[in-house]
Structure 1
Amino acid sequence: MRRIALYLILVLTTSILTGSCQEKKETKKHANILSVQDTLTSMETNFKWQEGLSCPSGYPIQVYRGWLEGPLVSNGVNEEPNSTTSIYGFGTTTGIGNWGDNSSGMSQGEKPIPQRLNCTWYSYVEDVMYHINTELDYPKMVKLFNEGFQSSVRKRGKVMTTYNHITIGFAPGGVVVVWLKGGDKDVEIGRYQGQKVVIDPKEIASLDSHERLLFDPVDRERTLKNPKIISLEDQQANKNKPIPYGLWDSYRVKYNWKPVFEFVREGKISDNLSFDMFNGERETLLDQEFLKNESQERAIPRVLSFAWWGKDGQGYGGYIRFDEKEIFAAFQELHKKNPEANIDLEVKINPGSTYLAATVKNGIKAIPLKKSNTEVYESRSLTEKYKKE
């Protein structure tokens, strides 16, 4: 009996402690929710933005039906979105360009930030229809829209601006990525997963002749051969090759890195540096951010654009467009050798400012990026700025 009594006391004590811990967790969770709600309540939730669509080069899509839906509000009977922005009716999204590039969109204007994506789309290359109905990261979008960012427009003092596009990207395998875009800065909001669906034949039969083309095998073949939708270069490159599922997720892997510049002789880099990443994000370093130039967790860069002055005050602009396979292999190798070390993306500028060379290094190893495509041009505006200063 004594042993049973001790056992009961132990069970009762454990139950009380567990219940107490669970209650604390629920209380903390509830407090966090209230904190987020209070923060959102104090922020503006209507902004001027336009919807946009994106897909990878060579993998066109068409949205069959789709909406960006605002937060739910009560109409007295049930709850409905406070706004609905259509993202269909734009025809085929070609993807000629880069993953994350914005296309389509017709409703530029002030409206609520969306909270949900409800969409069905067709992937031409896969010959598959996908559907997604998902919550978006609404708090993150509200926060980013309200914070804004520094504009590269040169006026007296610091000029702030904010995002003007919400772009939805569709990649093979049902991958969906949402970005906020604002020219000088593009930020990923989240990655979501669609599921394969089959449209009811009765629904297809009820469509008008134009809408039914989306389900016509002959029209699909015509679309896949159209060089205005899939470039001849992409058609040739992808011929008889499997779809690289997972590629667009690999673009989202981030590393701690920063750009650094080295002049073989004298020179000065301008405080306006931008880079586009393979994951569809874009970052611009201006003024104090440029001076700090701290290593940050970023996706691998696709293009680095910058400007500088030569020893004589001549202004120059230039860019480096990196070879995808080369730069990914280099970042992965450096990270594997020392996962904790930051990576420097070093750009060397020769004495005559006619040549650029890029190298990635982490203090242990340096890997030159020999396949990069570079361009240098003279900048009259920078030269004039140098003379004024």
Structure 2
Amino acid sequence: MKKYEWLPTSNAPEIYPTEIFDFDSHFYLEDGGSVYIPTSVPNCNGWGNSGSTHTQGEDLKALPVRMEITWASFKENKFYTGNWDMPIDTLKKLFEKGTIDWRTGRISNYNEIIVNCAPGGIVVVWVYGNDQQIEVARFQAKERQFDIKKLSNNPEVTQKGYFEVMGKLKPEFEEEFKKKGIQHDIYDIYRKKYTWRAKTEIEGHQLMNIGFKMFNGEEETIFNEKIIEPIKENSFKPRAVPKQLNFIFEDSKKLQTVFEVKPFDEDEIMNLFQQADPNKPIEIILRMNVDLSNRRLIFKQGEKEIPIKKIDVENMWKYKG
């Protein structure tokens, strides 16, 4: 049985804050041990993001074979719970393969197992390391009753009062919540994948690196010829719709430039993918002149090209490594 250096962490969407009960939420490991799933109070730093991490157990840990979790969903005024087997074969393959730090070329590994909870009892689990994040499980929890006094030292506390305080959002997110309400299906919609790739068409420049962050919480970086997915191949593959995208490209003098889309307008990019032909691959192409003027980002499928308009074409800088 192999062991690895990793820690559990958790989070939730900005507009749907949660609280995971660490006394009732654990990963149970292949060697019989366990680690609890830590939480911020409340959890609301964004879908797919990591959160609190607590040093616990040995530095090297076996991989989890089972997970149990209980949490409060403040905007829904509900509690959820679940207990599931983890996809241990998938985890073993990923951790045995490991990752590579694209900045240094050093072989490393995944160092976080991330849990996020969303409205309707959705639980998604990812592994993360070196700007690579892969979804390994999607679970469905059930509603449960819970004594709110177990969470507070105040014997007079009520569930309504506690949830109102803990579910309060920053003003900009409160406005977003008022517009969207409770979306029970959006985090499954985000998980849909399309066959696509990103590339550059810039005269006199070579593409060195592409960094992807997808709406489903996955992340990917492809770069040089030393890894399994080299930038020179840059193959089409199933990916969720991109939330953020950055390119690093190099001129003949070895000077490198970064162009970053952070983030896409959700409605614009989602509509482009959803309205595309599901049977044809898609390209997102960064085009500009040799002097890096006339910058455009194009959504291309076959001969059809559509400009992606709602981006900041000035978000570009020299990369110093």
Q: Give the TM-score, by structure 2 length.
A: 0.89
- Alignment correspondent of 1:262: 201
Superposed displacement of residue 70, structure 1:
1.4
Q: 1:111 to 1:380 in 2, by over 3 A?
A: closer
Return the index of the structure with the highest Cα Rg.
1
Of 288, 297, 308, the match for 2:249: 308
8 Å CA contact retained: 1:51, 1:107: no
Deviations 1:72-97 (A, max 9, x none): x7xxxxxxxx1111114x3424323x
Deviations 1:348-370 (A, max 9, x none): 13443256421111114222210
Of 26, 37, 43, the match for 1:94: 43
8 Å CA contact retained: 1:310, 1:353: no
Deviations 1:304-333 (A, max 9, x none): 112123466543112113111111110111
Superposed displacement of residue 266, structure 1:
2.5
Higher mean alpha-carbon deviation, 242-251 vs 372-381, is at 372-381
- Alignment correspondent of 2:166: 223
Deviations 1:225-269 (A, max 9, x none): 3xxxx3211101222643111000011100111111111x43222
8 Å CA contact retained: 1:214, 1:220: no
Letter in 2 for 1:66: S
State how 1:239-388 maps to structure 2 within 5 Å. 239=178, 241-263=180-202, 265-270=203-208, 272-288=209-225, 289-310=230-251, 313-321=254-262, 322-335=264-277, 339-353=278-292, 356-374=295-313, 375-381=315-321
Superposed displacement of residue 112, structure 1:
1.1
How many residue pairs align between the two structures? 311
- Alignment correspondent of 2:26: 67
8 Å CA contact retained: 1:334, 1:361: no
Structure-2 separation of matches of 1:350 and 1:286:
23
**SS at structure 1 position matched to 2:232:** helix
Specify which structure has the higher proportion of helix: 1
State how 1:76-225 maps to structure 2 within 5 Å. 82-88=32-38, 90-96=39-45, 98-107=46-55, 109-154=59-104, 159-199=106-146, 201=147, 204=148, 207=150, 209-210=152-153, 216-225=159-168
| Superposition misfits of 4+ residues, deviation over 6 angstroms | 211-214
Structure 2 gap ranges (5+)? none
Structure-1 separation of matches of 2:156 and 2:29:
31
**SS at structure 1 position matched to 2:184:** coil
Letter in 1 for 2:28: E
Structure-1 separation of matches of 2:2 and 2:130:
21
Structure-2 separation of matches of 1:217 and 1:118:
25
Superposed displacement of residue 190, structure 1:
1.2
8 Å CA contact retained: 2:77, 2:160: no
- Alignment correspondent of 2:13: 56
**SS at structure 2 position matched to 1:46:** coil
Letter in 2 for 1:276: K
Q: 1:220 to 1:213 in 2, by over 3 A?
A: farther
Structure-1 separation of matches of 2:36 and 2:14:
24
**SS at structure 1 position matched to 2:176:** helix
Q: 1:266 to 1:334 in 2, by over 3 A?
A: same
CA RMSD, 1 decimal: 2.2
Structure-2 separation of matches of 1:291 and 1:326:
29
**SS at structure 2 position matched to 1:112:** coil
- Identity rate of aligned residues, in percent? 27
Structure-2 separation of matches of 1:355 and 1:177:
40
Superposed displacement of residue 213, structure 1:
9.0
Structure-1 separation of matches of 2:77 and 2:303:
47
Letter in 1 for 2:269: I
Superposed displacement of residue 220, structure 1:
2.1
Structure-2 separation of matches of 1:211 and 1:246:
35
Superposed displacement of residue 152, structure 1:
0.9
